[in-house]
Structure 1
């Protein structure tokens, strides 16, 4: 089950692009908390502490004990806004939850014993990598394991083959396929598939040396990249 992680927060007294930009430059991440028994509140958290909280085995499904103004609230991180270049979190919503009520979460599916499938040249094909379930916050699993021992060509394992925590429910058709073992495709079948898709093995176009030098010079002249800018929001 997910381990709870503590995260300290401070209220935000100023809103707008200017104040949020200044917060980010000091290593803070603007955020908001809302949900169960919580008035929507603007706040900010330490960027490094948030990074560590979101990089446990539970990933973004980690349960966070958000500490704000002497109160502790159970929350999940939702609607993370990521900087397109630096890949840093620039804003996050925290959803407060009732520990006694089910919530909807996407849980990763981990295949187990992949080396123990039948040696018949079959190709393991994982169709679903996550599965949505309804579960109480304290029972959220880090992942759902699926044992593929003994699977051979033509075998299928479905959502119903996954084991849920007590009281949890699937929010997806239990007959959906999670993993199959497919027969290898012959060279003739691959060529026929490419032909149906209109794929042709064209000869590469030859370019003489003078044309190549001219093209390279044009590329270097136009090679300046636009400056990176912050993607601020309130």
Structure 2
């Protein structure tokens, strides 16, 4: 998936200036790469958010248009306010078609496991995976059919399909597991009835 975003150069670097920029509906950012020195830019918040919300399902690239020139990039890093969750800063890195790069690829699990149909439940542990490859070889997503999984089965990095890329995570990292339903806790034993005793009289 490729998004196109207009950007403008910026010269402001002070905290107060960056705050004023955000109040204008812009997000401070930077674009950099081997063929481009780190360049401070700003993008429209609403325009970026529309793209960002669509980027979770597959690998996404951002075509940054700056001064009439188009730069093919990937969102490499982001800073988010811990309370408001607003974007404070974005890092866009140039993507070279022949260079080896790392990408975070969404995982798409299709099918309903047999174990779920027979009473179990599916626990998903990881929804993305990191790979290393050339940009032109990077898949938009990795799809796995999990319909044959039984209760107790688990899916690991080493079980994923192979391609023109290398997985960066540990091969034994679990992605999901089909578990049996939890057994209801046994009822607490009824409290023993108090036995009344007659007071002994001399």
**TM-score bucket of the superposed structures, by smaller chain:** 0.7 to 0.9
2:168 pairs with 1:171: yes
| Whole-Å separation in 1 of the counterparts to 2:131 and 2:91 | 21
Residue 75 of structure 1 corresponds to which residue in structure 2? 73
Assess, with a 3 A threshold, how the Cα gap between structure 1 residues 118 and 90 changes in structure 2: closer, same or farther: closer
2:49 match: secondary structure:
helix
How far did residue 118 of structure 1 move? 6.0
Q: Is the 8 A contact 1:80 1:93 kept in 2?
A: yes
Q: Is the 8 A contact 1:5 1:53 kept in 2?
A: yes
Q: How does 1:14-29 map to 2 (within 5 A)?
A: 14-29=12-27
Q: Is the 8 A contact 1:146 1:161 kept in 2?
A: no
Moved over 6 A (4+): none
Assess, with a 3 A threshold, how the Cα gap between structure 1 residues 66 and 152 changes in structure 2: closer, same or farther: same
Q: Unpaired runs of 5+ in structure 1?
A: 192-234
Which of these two proteins has the greater Rg computed from alpha carbons? 2
Q: How does 1:2-21 map to 2 (within 5 A)?
A: 3-21=1-19
2:117 match: secondary structure:
coil
Q: How does 1:42-191 map to 2 (within 5 A)?
A: 42-58=40-56, 61-114=59-112, 117=115, 119-164=117-162, 166-187=163-184
TM-score, normalization: structure 1?
0.69
State how many pairs are aligned.
187
Structure with higher strand content: 2
Q: Unpaired runs of 5+ in structure 2?
A: 189-202
Q: Is the 8 A contact 1:58 1:142 kept in 2?
A: no
